[in-house]
Amino acid sequence: MIQIKNLTYGYQQTPVLSNFNLHETEPNIIGLWGRNGSGKTTLMSLLAGHYKPLEGQLNVLGQKPYNNLSALENICYIQENHPFGQNWKIEDVCKFGRYFHPNWNQEFAEKLIDLFELPYKKKITKFSKGMKTATQIILGLASNAQITILDEPTNGLDAVKRKIFYDALLESYEEQPRLFLISTHHIEEIQPLCESLIVIQDGEVLFHEQMEVMREKGVILSGNSELIEQVTF
């Protein structure tokens, strides 16, 4: 579904991703983690066809996504602060969702609108942070795109709304198995949903493992801080 080989991309001659390799063949819920500046946003933007690789190969569902409308029908990239029209209301999100994504699930979108308690008549620009995040979630999940990329999908959501999102994600995945790539700084919350995890460091894949394997790599140390530092550094 995603094949990246020896990819390089950067800005103003400064490399962000270098000799980057990634291969995913099956529907999956994948967590994407890395520190700020590690290359996560650049990777997601490349997959969504926003940028053209400088070197190497990038194929999504067997096609190059850059400047390719046929490929982009099957890709939905929801950015952390997703751009919506100044006068858009929630019905406009659904309208454009149907237009750009041929597998759009309007019934599921309406169900989520009710669950997140979003107003139909209010402009999205007047929404709270949590309501905007919920709107982005609806667009991503209801798209039914074969490649669905969610960047920080829980920002601004309270505990109740986060639970709604987690349940909706699993429901959507079970009904329409596809590849979800979820970038988050809060991996401890999202990891129970993920089947695998990608960790990016300095523009390269540091880990790409099943979540069960990654959990086994974790160790909890307690005791004198100076002694712990001697062990870990």
pLDDT, one tens digit per residue, over 4-28 is 999 999 987 788 999 999 999 999 9
pLDDT at 151: 95
Q: What is the mean pLDDT of the chain?
A: 91
pLDDT at 229 over 80: no
User: Once rounded to an integer, what is the mean pLDDT over residues 78-90?
Assistant: 92
Which of the 8 DSSP states describes residue 137? Answer: H
How many Å apart are CA 39 and CA 94, to the nearest integer? 31
What is the structure's pLDDT at 211? 85
How many C-beta neighbours within 10 Å does residue 122 have?
A: 12
Q: How far apart are CA 104 and CA 121, in angstroms?
A: 22
Residue 114 binned pLDDT confidence (cut-offs 50, 70, 90)? very high
What integer pLDDT is reported at residue 218 of this predicted model? Answer: 61
- Of 6-10, 61-65, 214-218, the range with the lowest mean pLDDT is 214-218
Range of the domain at 90: 2-232
- In the prediction, which pLDDT does 144 show? 97
**Range 206-226 average pLDDT:** 76
Number of compact structural domains in the chain:
1
CATH number reported for the structural domain that contains residue 45 in this entry:
3.40.50.300
Q: Above 70 in pLDDT, residue 233?
A: no
CA 203 vs CA 9, 33, 43, 187, 215: distances in Å = 9, 12, 9, 19, 23
In DSSP terms, 218 is beta-bridged to none
Question: Does residue 74 surpass a pLDDT of 80?
Answer: yes
Q: Which residues are CB-neighbours of 218 under 8 A, at least 6 positions away?
A: none
Residue 184 confidence class, pLDDT cut points 50, 70, 90? confident
Return the pLDDT at 225: 74
Lowest mean pLDDT among 12-21, 128-137, 184-193, 219-228: 219-228
Q: Which tens digit of pLDDT belongs to each residue from 22-53?
A: 999 999 999 999 988 899 999 999 999 999 99
pTM of structure: 0.89
Whether 102 has a pLDDT exceeding 60, the answer reads: yes
Read off the pLDDT of residues 129-166 as tens digits, 9 standing for 90 and up: 999 999 999 999 999 999 999 999 999 999 999 999 99
